[in-house]
Amino acid sequence: MRPVIVEAREPDGATIAICRDVAAAALALPDEVALRLSDALAGEGVKIIDLSSAQRTRDEIHYGLPELFGPPPAGTSVVSNPGCYPTATLLALVPLLRAGLIEPAVSVVGCSGTSGAGKALREDLHFSELFGNFFPYKVGQHKHSAEIALHLGAEVSLVTQVVPVVRGLAVTAFVRTEHEPAALLACLQQAYAEAPWVTVLPEPGEGLGVRHVVGTHQAVLAVGPRKDGGVVPVFGAIDNLMRGAASQALHNLNLWLDLPAHLGLPEPMGHVPDGTPGMSRAFA
């Protein structure tokens, strides 16, 4: 059978041609382009995994974070792949909010490597500018704030910072609660007891180092052991390019197509990380 072609014309006059004689397609494109191609391909019966942010806050679109929202429904046509900061934050907080253990207003500080800023050339991301330095960015206007707030169902204050590493992401969420931190920890442990790609540490520390998760599909979570200033910190670490993008898309696709969930994914972390992580898998 000859593949049928779907064409989408860009504002600059260029035309993108895509084969529609496929079961599924993953779109890693700018928002506007992804939305147009998603509509065109979905209209031809192609299952779409959209890695852009174009559809992450659309109520009618399935949000692809399987541990929290289940596998994509068989009859749906589009799955929106979550952003990197939302993935780490939601995995850390959604079970606590669903259990009524925390107040529905949180503050989150997120730190990401330079790969989270995309591939465009920027002076502030030059090695000589960033080495030995880090700084906040998009404060008060980060597009992930609305995404987190919607799928968490809570008010969110998000501050993001770029740090001098290439990949890896860590978030610290500050939550108010009437419960002891041990109850929050137990909730996360129970929520992810059957989730092989989520590790809950017994306490925060060096095991949250991003090198533990770089090159994996793993999310590593932890809860602060005590309240300080009336709040408890809750932590999450992921590889922003894997769990925050590519491997999460593959995980969704496996579940959607009724394939083994682990197909093509790195093996789940076989032990609870502790100590300083070794050389990053990206360079090993």
Tokens standing for residue 278: 């070794």
Task: Name residue 258's amino acid.
Answer: D
Q: Which amino acid is at 77?
A: S
**Identity of the residue numbered 181:** P
Within 13 Å, how many C-alpha atoms sit on residue 83's CB side? 25
Name the catalytic one among 19, 84, 111, 187: 84
Tell me if residue 84 is catalytic: yes
Reading the block at residue 155, the tokens are: 């008010």
DSSP 111-126: EE-GGGG-SS--GGGS
Say what the alpha-carbon torsion angle 182, 184, 84, 121 is, to the nearest 10 degrees.
Answer: -50
The phi-psi region of residue 110 (left if phi > 0; otherwise alpha if psi is between -120 and 50; otherwise beta) is beta
Residues assigned a catalytic role: 84
